[in-house]
Amino acid sequence: MIREIVKDQILLSQKSIDAAYEDKNIAQDLLDTLNAHHEHCVGMAANMIGELKNIIVITDQGSPIIMYNPQIIKTTGTPYTVQEGCLSHQGTKEALRYPKIKVAYLDYDFKKKIKTFRDYTAQIIQHEMDHCNGILI
């Protein structure tokens, strides 16, 4: 189900809690909402649709990836500054990002994955994980 994008800065600044298997409907709603905004959105976190759960959905080379309870376990390279936009606010904001990250997460079927992401995909994941941590982008 496509959900409305939350713009409430108080809600967005709250830290999310770990997701459970029973939260799969939230991930599906996130995916549906991301698909509805695909022309100008490449990732979403659950709090953007009003759910304080550690769930993100990102687009990696045109394919969606659902991540439950993602954790960055390693960063590599010199961090760089970038201007990022977000559906939850107007304009852009400055953020510090690493060019390469290793992420542990549970996939759509709740199987543990560890994968390395680079460049723009790594930037998207860091942005969405900031959302989960209540960091306003």
CA dist 54 and 46 (Å) reads 7
Residue 101: helix, strand or coil by DSSP? strand
CA dist 88 and 60 (Å) reads 21
Mean pLDDT throughout 101-117?
97
Let me know if residue 128 belongs to a domain: yes
CA dist 10 and 18 (Å) reads 19
Q: According to the model, what pLDDT value does residue 8 have?
A: 95
Least confident range from 46-50, 86-90, 116-120: namely: 86-90
Give the domain extent around 116. 9-132
Q: For residue 62, name the pLDDT band (cuts at 50, 70, 90).
A: confident
CATH code: domain of residue 123: 3.90.45.10
Active site residue 84: no
Let me know if residue 1 belongs to a domain: no
Let me know if residue 2 belongs to a domain: no
Number of structural domains the chain divides into: 1
pTM, two decimal places? 0.95
Set 22, 39, 51, 128: catalytic member:
128
Q: According to the model, what pLDDT value does residue 120 have?
A: 95
Let me know if residue 4 belongs to a domain: no
Q: According to the model, what pLDDT value does residue 129 have?
A: 98
Task: Give phi and psi for 117, each to the nearest 5.
Answer: -125, 150
Q: Is the dihedral of CA 21, 129, 104, 59 positive or negative?
A: positive
Residue (of 20, 87, 96, 80) closest to 54 by Cα position: 20
